């Protein structure tokens, strides 16, 4: 064989088994790091901030262990049959393997997992019958296309205040959410606080959630509802009791009558026919309530950061930002009018 053939047949350092093992280890660490990093955050069911979410996370880990046990059993049997003992087994041995590994083992493990899940279910979602809510704070949430109408109710069931795409709730207090929709099915889900609940037209579903620690969390629509389903999020801010009471009083006293130029243009161009701003003649019920809009972290149901430029952009072309949204385009308005209205809305706090 020629010398150059021998030279080319020699393995380089990068082709050695040890190098491949190192590369596989690095890839495994990278994948595990990415997986573990996704287990935390403001929208993670594995980073619970409430009793129900803690039970959901516990159930997930128990199911994971059970599934891993079955997987290890199957792979272990396969490894034994293909690597340890390759010669044929007797029919008696094969029958026992099928009985124990194919029937008894899976039935025992899956039965134990089912029993645990059924036992945990009442703790995860204690049922509250209509009329038996007791002293729970009540919030009515309506799934619109494609945003969330949020109404805080008083003790008699009347509307105390209305907002959109944001929920403020006190820490350590169980809150009863009444869920409904006027047109299509949605699904109300705050992963860090609890499980999902469908929002169905013509039906009121109820779910009671409690936050065990203060913070800001993200809720989403978990049921495909149209073109902007993925752009239908909301923010949940959990405050200490004193801070929540202060926010509630401030919100009840909110008044949008200041900013005469912006308010005048807002009313002149017909925006008040669809939107409400407390303390003004704008009393529309079709679109989101814009009272204290400037204090919200985002606009268009979590789609854009709440800045004056983004408000103006959404006024001009809402359909480009949220396909299928019911708000018409106002691109025909003079540029100065749009900027003035956007500045007025951003100043509503």
Q: Is the pLDDT of residue 2 over 60?
A: no
Determine the pLDDT at residue 131: 56
Q: Is the pLDDT of residue 71 over 90?
A: no
Of 90-94, 209-213, 238-242, the one with minimum mean pLDDT is 90-94
302 & 217 share domain: no
Assess contact for 19 and 13: CB atoms under 8 A.
yes
Q: Kindly report the pTM of this predicted structure.
A: 0.81
Domain range for 108 = 51-124
Measure the CA–CA gap between 236 and 239, rounded to whole angstroms.
10
The model's confidence at residue 13, banded by pLDDT at 50, 70 and 90, is very low
120 & 137 share domain: no
Q: What is the mean pLDDT of residues 40-54?
A: 86
User: Number of structural domains, the chain?
Assistant: 3
154 & 221 share domain: yes
111 & 137 share domain: no
For residues 167 and 87, the model is more confident at: 167
Q: Is the pLDDT of residue 223 over 70?
A: yes
Domain end residue (candidates: 124, 145, 177)? 124
Q: 3-state DSSP call for residue 306?
A: coil
Q: Is residue 17 part of a domain?
A: no
Q: Is residue 46 part of a domain?
A: no
The model's confidence at residue 4, banded by pLDDT at 50, 70 and 90, is very low
Q: Tens of pLDDT along 320-344?
A: 999 999 999 999 999 999 999 999 9
Determine the pLDDT at residue 187: 97
From residue 288, give the alpha-carbon distance in Å to each of 24, 60, 201.
52, 36, 19
CATH number at residue 284: 2.60.40.420
Determine the pLDDT at residue 134: 63
For 215, half-sphere exposure in the C-beta direction (CA atoms, 13 angstrom radius) is: 16
220 & 277 share domain: no
144 & 118 share domain: no
Phi, psi for 173 (deg, rounded to 5): -125, 130
200 & 218 share domain: yes
The model's confidence at residue 104, banded by pLDDT at 50, 70 and 90, is confident
Determine the pLDDT at residue 1: 46
Measure the CA–CA gap between 109 and 117, rounded to whole angstroms.
12
Q: Is the pLDDT of residue 178 over 90?
A: yes
Measure the CA–CA gap between 312 and 181, rounded to whole angstroms.
28
Of 97-101, 203-207, 265-269, 327-331, the one with minimum mean pLDDT is 97-101
Q: Is residue 4 part of a domain?
A: no
Q: Is residue 5 part of a domain?
A: no
138 & 238 share domain: yes
Q: Is the pLDDT of residue 5 over 50?
A: no
The fraction of the chain above a pLDDT of 90, given in percent, is 62
Q: Is residue 169 part of a domain?
A: yes
Domain end residue (candidates: 124, 152, 170)? 124
Assess contact for 50 and 212: CB atoms under 8 A.
yes
142 & 207 share domain: yes
CA 23 distance to own-chain centroid:
36
Domain end residue (candidates: 242, 272, 290)? 242
For 134, half-sphere exposure in the C-beta direction (CA atoms, 13 angstrom radius) is: 7
Assess contact for 225 and 143: CB atoms under 8 A.
yes
148 & 195 share domain: yes
Measure the CA–CA gap between 265 and 151, rounded to whole angstroms.
27
Of 18-32, 108-122, 131-145, 294-308, the one with minimum mean pLDDT is 18-32
Q: Is residue 278 part of a domain?
A: yes
198 & 235 share domain: yes
Q: Is residue 272 part of a domain?
A: yes
Q: Is residue 39 part of a domain?
A: no
Assess contact for 185 and 223: CB atoms under 8 A.
yes
Determine the pLDDT at residue 37: 53
* Cβ atoms within 10 Å of 23's Cβ, excluding its own: 11
339 & 279 share domain: yes
């Amino acid at each position: 064989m020629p010398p150059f053939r021998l030279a080319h047949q020699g393995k380089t350092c990068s082709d050695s088994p040890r190098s491949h093992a190192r590369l596989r280890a690095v890839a495994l660490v990278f994948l595990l790091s990415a997986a573990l990093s996704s287990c935390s955050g403001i929208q993670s069911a594995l980073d619970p901030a409430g009793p129900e979410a803690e039970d959901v996370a516990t159930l997930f880990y128990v199911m994971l262990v059970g599934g891993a046990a079955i997987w290890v059993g199957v792979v272990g049997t396969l490894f034994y049959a293909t690597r340890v003992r390759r010669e044929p087994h007797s029919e008696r041995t094969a029958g026992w393997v099928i009985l124990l590994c194919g029937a008894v083992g899976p039935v025992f493990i899956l039965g134990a997992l089912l029993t645990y899940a059924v036992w945990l279910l009442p703790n995860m979602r204690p049922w509250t019958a209509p009329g038996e809510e007791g002293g729970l704070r009540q919030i009515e949430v309506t799934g619109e296309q494609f945003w969330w109408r949020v109404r805080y109710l008083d003790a008699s069931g009347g509307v105390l205040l209305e907002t959109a795409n944001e929920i403020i709730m006190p820490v350590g207090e169980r809150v009863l959410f009444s869920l409904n929709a006027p047109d299509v099915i949605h699904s109300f889900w705050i992963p860090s606080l609890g499980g999902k609940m469908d929002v169905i037209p013509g039906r009121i579903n109820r779910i009671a959630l409690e936050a065990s620690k203060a913070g800001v969390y993200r809720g989403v629509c978990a049921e495909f509802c149209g073109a902007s389903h993925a752009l239908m999020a909301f923010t949940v801010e959990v405050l200490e009791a004193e801070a929540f009471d202060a926010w509630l009083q401030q919100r009840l006293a909110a008044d949008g009558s200041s900013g005469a130029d912006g308010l005048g243009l807002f009313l002149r161009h017909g925006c008040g026919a669809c939107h409400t701003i407390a303390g003004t003649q704008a009393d529309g019920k079709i679109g989101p309530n814009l009272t204290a809009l400037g204090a919200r972290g985002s606009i268009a149901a979590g789609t854009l950061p709440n800045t004056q430029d983004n408000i103006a952009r959404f006024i001009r072309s809402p359909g480009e930002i949220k396909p299928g949204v019911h708000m018409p385009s106002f691109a025909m308005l003079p540029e100065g009018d749009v900027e003035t209205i956007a500045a007025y809305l951003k100043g509503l706090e």
